[in-house]
Amino acid sequence: MGKTLVVAEKPAVGRDLARVLGCKQKKEGFINGDEYVVSWCMGHLVTLCEPEDYDPRYKKWSLQTLPIIPSEMKLKVVKGVKDQFNILEMLMNSTEISYIVCATDAGREGELIFRYVYHLAGCEKPFQRLWISSMVDSAIKEGFRQLKPGNDFDDLYESARCRSEADWLVGINATRAYTVRQGGLLSVGRVQTPTLAILVNRQREIDNFVSQDYWEIIASYENFHGFWFDPEAGVSRTYQYEKAEEIAGKVKGETGYITQIKEEAKKELPPQLYDLNELQRDANKKYGFSAKKTLSIAQDLYEKYKVITYPRTDSRYLTSDMESSLKNLIKKVGETGEELKPHADYIMSLSRLPITRRIIDDKKVSDHHAIIPTGKKAKLPADALKVYTLVALRLMAAFYPEYRYKVTTITVEVAGEIFVSRGKIVQQEGWKEVYKEKEENSGKSNKSRGAQKGEAQKEDSSEDTAKDEEQVLPHLNEGDAVQVVDTEVHSKKTRPPTQYTEAGLLAAMENAGRFVEDEELKDHLKDRGLGTPATRASIIERLLTVGYVQRKRKKLVPTNKGIDLIKIVPEQLKSPEMTGEWEQELNEIARGQSDPENFLEKIKEYTAYVVKEARSSDLVPELREKKKNSSRSKNADKKINENTGEVLGKCPSCGEGEVVVRSRGYGCSRWKDGCEFFVSAVILGKELSTSDVKRLLQDGKTELLKGFTSKKGKKFNARLALEEGGQIQFKFN
């Protein structure tokens, strides 16, 4: 019997698999062993062909050639990684290889990466699937003991293929159509554009908001205070200053009587385990990390340090087969940090773990379970430790009791006016013991979640209410008399909805169903939203990179360019409804419940509609690329603006887009998928020509370039070289 070829998604993962499988003979592009040969892709090795690969006339962007809809989508090798593809092609078709194991990331995109290579290599050998959520040695070994038939994932591949081809059809055609029509390079996509629309719509709400003055009246008694309340309107404010002053003067010094005392027991359940979206939101709120940075750290914690499970998950639950190992896991996690040990000791002291369906639910785990620690120890950099600690503390908190408190509401009637006082008494700290240092923020979690979902803050008294509930109320009875010692009138203004933070936008993307009127799609988008946990960060970064959005402190604010784009694209293209329909059917395809070809036919019809709308869209001069006046890059900008849209080569980062000339440099055309590849027109004072970038893309490095200037003002010469994932580094002789 021949050997088994194991195909990983990245070299680093391949090396880990090779070590566990006992492969030690390092070769060019693979590692050999007695039973296994381990090789790898480098992200995407194979991609869909570009328009000009079908017909040379498509190389020039023109409305006359649109829509571009090939009768059959073809594959080709990504430039810059052809050598690695050739190695895989040779191994897959080698007589020494009998079986193949697909060990790319266990998800839709990982399946696509392997299948594209497998098909283009012309391989027909049987293959199995490695499906794991942890990179610790024990998980890898267990995964190889339970390999699954490759054909079990055919429907998942069809879903991935449809997603890829649909994005190509809509993205290529929409981007070309609006770019040519408007005269400036514009990125249009099924996730990026509706995400931008969320920000633009919020900006419109803010711009159209008319602030109103209002007043609150506070009555101070001997040892507590209360707010005036209008029982007819149901609010603790008046919009008439004269009325506020009249009420304050009317009740000051008067004696009131307690008409009602209401005590209400409340509780907050422990937070659920993390999915990627929730982890990114918390890291943004607590540490100011961007979603992109949190994902990058989490990926390192998974692949490099092996201290957490697979991070690109949309589930917040574990599976029932994990229940028996949880107590041992919690013990190990407690040994990874002093902050964690007391909580682990408490949980270990319980006679049994308080397992609920908020923790374990097989029905709510699809590709991967929630993000949890693996129990492995590692010395982590500062930022990585912060993210790891978030994950570890969340695991602990999930097994703590609920947080219980009592809210007491006292109603006082004074001179015919009603005043309400509230006080809060904590009865059981519960899971908040785990987060003592941020108890105040946790106590407002329900309010913050509402704001994150994009709800307009129609009232601005939430902060005062929270402070009000913190006062300690004396023991009183209904009918008791209280004297108003003093009164105050506070002047305030109604506030507009707030700008989205990155955490808030992630929540809006996750809960995009509220922007959709169709009830079935709204229900579906509760679970899926805009994009996936793995792509939302890159979509936000792309909106920033292309100038549709800018950061102002912690807020994300749409630019005039972004606002103008939303004005001209058709409603379907900027509505989450289209994404909801796509995701709904893609999920059905993955489950074998929908026909892939029917889906793609509808996409082709939609593509033709988008092109038609672009042709008749209003011209917006502000969307045209403008020359920059920066003295250090006038010449470079002049060259670039004269050639905006010129294709220089295949994108080395995503492998699917093409690098085109843009106003400030050279970037990937596949912005809609969140590809972040970009080369500035000027690097450390050195202007890059299109020929420099072409050489970089074709050969993986430039000629020796002269004239770079260091931060200290020193001149130096170097080559620019492409590294794994499209990163660019200096190379010196």
CA-based torsion, 513, 563, 676, 553: positive or negative: negative
Q: Greatest CA span in the chain, whole angstroms?
A: 99
Alpha-carbon distance of 606 to 25, in angstroms, equals 51
With residue 491 as reference, give the H or E element that holds it: strand 486-493
Residue type, 40: W
The neighbour count for residue 98, using CB atoms within 10 Å, is 13
Structure tokens at 62: 């023109």
First-last CA distance in the chain: 48
Residue 312 has a CB neighbour count (10 Å cut-off) of 22
CA 396/CA 271 separation, integer angstroms: 10
Complete DSSP assignment for 680-724: ESEETTEEPPHHHHHHHHHHSBPPPEEEEE-TTS-EEEEEEEE-G
Report the distance separating Cα 289 and Cα 287, nearest Å. Answer: 5
483, HSE (Cβ side, Cα atoms, 13 Å): 3
Position of tokens 């998980």?
139
C-alpha–C-alpha distance, residues 678 and 10, integer Å: 22
200, 562 contact by CB (below 8 A): yes
Nearest to 722 by CA among 81, 173, 181: 81
Residues paired with residue 38 on neighbouring β-strands, in sequence order? 6, 31
Helical spans, DSSP H, in 435-568: 439-443, 445-452, 462-469, 502-510, 519-525, 533-545, 560-568
Q: How far apart are CA 316 and CA 18, in angstroms?
A: 31
Q: Which two tokens stand for residue 206?
A: 């803010």
Task: Please pick, among 214, 310, 405, 548, the residue that the annotation labels catalytic.
Answer: 310
Residues in the chain: 733
Q: Which helix (H) or strand (E) holds 85?
A: helix 82-92
Annotation marks residue 310 as catalytic: yes
* Distance in angstroms (rounded) separating the CA atoms of residues 491 and 697: 62
Distances (CA, A) of 688 to 636, 664, 683: 7, 11, 8
Q: Which are the catalytic amino acids?
A: 310
